[in-house]
A and B are shown apart, each in its own frame.
Chain A
Amino acid sequence: QQPVQSPQAVILREGEDAVINCSSSKALYSVHWYRQKHGEAPVFLMILLKGGEQKGHEKISASFNEKKQQSSLYLTASQLSYSGTYFCGTGDRGSTLGRLYFGRGTQLTVWP
C-alpha cells in the first residue's frame, strides 16, 4: 500500500530541474505532494485526482498518469527555497474510510 518514491535523494545547483516519481502497483484514488523542511511540518503542495491530470504552475507542477498508478513532481529552475524532503501520499480509496499512505520521501538539496 505504501507507494515507491524515487530517487531517494537529489542534489542540484540553483536553476537546474528535477523530477521526483511516485508509483504504485495498484490504481490510486488520489495523489498528494508535500514538502517538509528540516524540523518543520510537511506542507501541502498539490493534489491530483484524475488520470491524465496535470497541475501546478510553471516552476512546480505534477502529473498523474492515465492508469492512475504513477505521479511525477516537476521542479524547474530550482531555487534555494526548494530544498527539503518531498513526500507523495497516495489515497487507497474514494470512500470516507480512505487512507493516505506516504512514500519514503525524496531529499532535495539545492546549492547556490
Chain B
Amino acid sequence: DTAVSQTPKYLVTQMGNDKSIKCEQNLGHDTMYWYKQDSKKFLKIMFSYNNKELIINETVPNRFSPKSPDKAHLNLHINSLELGDSAVYFCASSQLQGTNSPLHFGNGTRLTVT
C-alpha cells in the first residue's frame, strides 16, 4: 500500500500552460506539504497544510496555488508555467505539525517546462 502517492510522475509542458499535480496520503496524518527539488537536488519547502488549513507559504509566487479538499489530499495548481518551474515536486505528510515529526515523501513529479 502506497503511503503518499502523487500523480502524474512526469509532466512535460510548454511555457505559459497551466498544470496540476495531485497528492493523496493514507497514513491518517493531519499535515501535508509541497517541497520543490531543483536540478542541484536542493529541497525547499513551498507550502504546508494542517487539516485543510494553510499554515506555511514560503514566499512562493502566487502562480502556485495549493488546495486541500480534505486532510488526506493536497493538490498543487501552477498557472502560466515558466522555464524556472522545471523541478521535481514532492508531496509529503507528517503526523504532527512543526518539525518534530518525520516527513513521509511521495515519489515525486518531475515537471519539465519547455
Contact = CB atoms under 8 A, between A and B. Distances in A.
| A, B from the same assembly | yes
Contacts of B55: 96-97
Interface residues of B, number: 24
A94 B41 contact: no
Interface residues of A, number: 30
Interface stretch (B14-22, B75-83, B104-112): B104-112
A32 B44 CA distance: 14
Contacts of B44: 102
A102 B42 contact: yes
Nearest to B4: A41
Greatest chain B CB density within 10 A among A43, A47, A85, A96 is at A96
B103 A44 contact: yes
B41 A92 contact: no
Contacts of A97: 55-56, 98
Given A29-B99, A99-B56, 18 more contacts: A29-B100, A30-B99, A30-B100, A32-B103, A34-B103, A40-B108, A41-B106, A43-B105, A44-B103, A91-B98, A92-B99, A97-B55, A98-B98, A99-B48, A100-B99, A101-B45, A102-B44, A105-B42
